[in-house]
A and B are shown apart, each in its own frame.
Chain A
Amino acid sequence: MPSMFSALEYVPDWLLTHGPAFLMALPLIMAAITSILPNKRVAWASTFIVTAILTLTAFALALYNAEVGTTIYKMGGWAPPHGISLVVDALNAPVLVLIALMSFITIIYALPATVAEIKPNKRAPFYAAFLLCVAGLLGMVITGDAFNVFVFLEVSSISTYVLVAMGAARDRRALSAAYNYLILGSIGATFFVIGIGFLYMETGTLNMADMARILADLDGGSRVAKVAFGFIIIGLGLKLAMFPLHTWLPGAYAYAPTPVTVFLASTATKAALYLLLRFTFFVFDPSYAYVADELLYILVGMGVIGMVFASLQAIFQTDARRMLAFSSVAQVGYMLLGIGIATTASVAAGYLHLINHAVIKGGLFLALGAMWYRFGITRTEDFKGLGKTMPLTMGAFTVLGLSLIGVPFTAGFVSKINLAGAAADAGWWWAVGVIMLTSILALVYIGRVLLLAYFQSPPVVNGEVVVRNEAPLMMLIPMWILALTSIFIGVESDAVVGAATRAAELLLGAG
Chain B
Amino acid sequence: MSDPSHTSSETSEPILGRDPHVLLRVIAKFLIPLIALFGLYVQFHGDYGPGGGFQAGVILAASVILYALVFGLKAAKAAFPPRLIRYGMVLGVLLYGGTGVLSWILGGEFLNYSVLAHDASHGQHYGILAVELGVLVTVTTVMIAIFYAFGSRQPETSDEDW
Enumerate chain A interface residues (CB-CB to B < 8 A): 18, 21-22, 25, 28-29, 32-33, 35-36, 73-77, 172
Q: Would A29 and B94 count as touching, CB distance under 8 A?
A: yes
| Partner among A29, A32, A36, A76 whose Cβ is within 8 Å of the Cβ of B101 | A29
Q: Across the interface, which residues of B come within 8 angstroms of A35, CB to CB?
A: 86, 89-90
Q: Would B114 and A25 count as touching, CB distance under 8 A?
A: no
Rounded to whole angstroms, the CA-CA distance of A33 and B111 in the bound complex is: 19
Q: Would B87 and A76 count as touching, CB distance under 8 A?
A: no
| Partner among A18, A29, A73, A75 whose Cβ is within 8 Å of the Cβ of B97 | A29
Enumerate chain B interface residues (CB-CB to A < 8 A): 86-87, 89-90, 93-94, 97-98, 100-101, 104, 108-114, 161-162
Q: Would B162 and A21 count as touching, CB distance under 8 A?
A: no
Rounded to whole angstroms, the CA-CA distance of A75 and B108 in the bound complex is: 10
Q: Would B94 and A75 count as touching, CB distance under 8 A?
A: no
Across the two chains, which residue of chain B brings its CB closest to A34? Answer: B90
Q: Would A74 and B90 count as touching, CB distance under 8 A?
A: no
Q: Would A29 and B109 count as touching, CB distance under 8 A?
A: no
Q: Would B93 and A29 count as touching, CB distance under 8 A?
A: yes
| Partner among A22, A73, A172 whose Cβ is within 8 Å of the Cβ of B162 | A172
Q: Would A21 and B109 count as touching, CB distance under 8 A?
A: yes
Rounded to whole angstroms, the CA-CA distance of A76 and B115 in the bound complex is: 10
Rounded to whole angstroms, the CA-CA distance of A77 and B123 in the bound complex is: 12
10 smallest beta-carbon distances between A and B, as pairs: A77-B112, A21-B110, A32-B93, A29-B97, A76-B111, A32-B90, A77-B109, A76-B112, A36-B90, A74-B109
Q: How many inter-chain residue pairs (CB < 8 Å) link A and B?
A: 47
Q: How far is the CB of B122 from chain A (nearest CB, A)?
A: 15
In the complex, which of the residues A22, A32, A33 has the most CB atoms of chain B within 10 Å of its own CB atom? Answer: A32
Q: How far is the CB of B94 from chain A (nearest CB, A)?
A: 6
Q: Would B93 and A75 count as touching, CB distance under 8 A?
A: no
Q: Would A25 and B110 count as touching, CB distance under 8 A?
A: yes
Q: Would A18 and B110 count as touching, CB distance under 8 A?
A: yes
Rounded to whole angstroms, the CA-CA distance of A76 and B94 in the bound complex is: 17
Across the two chains, which residue of chain A brings its CB closest to B110? Answer: A21
Q: How far is the CB of A23 from chain B (nearest CB, A)?
A: 11
Q: Across the interface, which residues of B come within 8 angstroms of A32, CB to CB?
A: 89-90, 93-94, 97
Rounded to whole angstroms, the CA-CA distance of A74 and B114 in the bound complex is: 13
Across the two chains, which residue of chain B brings its CB closest to A29? Answer: B97
Across the two chains, which residue of chain A brings its CB closest to B87? Answer: A36
Q: Would B109 and A75 count as touching, CB distance under 8 A?
A: yes
Q: How far is the CB of A134 from chain B (nearest CB, A)?
A: 15
Q: How far is the CB of B132 from chain A (nearest CB, A)?
A: 14
Q: Across the interface, which residues of A come within 8 angstroms of B108, CB to CB?
A: 77
Q: Across the interface, which residues of A come within 8 angstroms of B97, CB to CB?
A: 25, 28-29, 32
Q: Would A18 and B111 count as touching, CB distance under 8 A?
A: no
Across the two chains, which residue of chain B brings its CB closest to A17? Answer: B109
Rounded to whole angstroms, the CA-CA distance of A32 and B141 in the bound complex is: 14
Rounded to whole angstroms, the CA-CA distance of A32 and B86 in the bound complex is: 10
Q: How far is the CB of A95 from chain B (nearest CB, A)?
A: 21
Task: List 28 A–B pairs whose Cβ atoms lie within 8 Å, in order of A's numbering.
Answer: A18-B104, A18-B109, A21-B100, A21-B109, A22-B110, A25-B110, A28-B97, A29-B93, A32-B90, A32-B93, A32-B94, A33-B90, A35-B86, A36-B87, A36-B90, A73-B109, A74-B109, A75-B109, A75-B110, A75-B111, A76-B109, A76-B111, A76-B112, A77-B108, A77-B112, A77-B114, A172-B161, A172-B162
Across the two chains, which residue of chain A brings its CB closest to B113? Answer: A76
Q: Across the interface, which residues of B come within 8 angstroms of A22, CB to CB?
A: 110
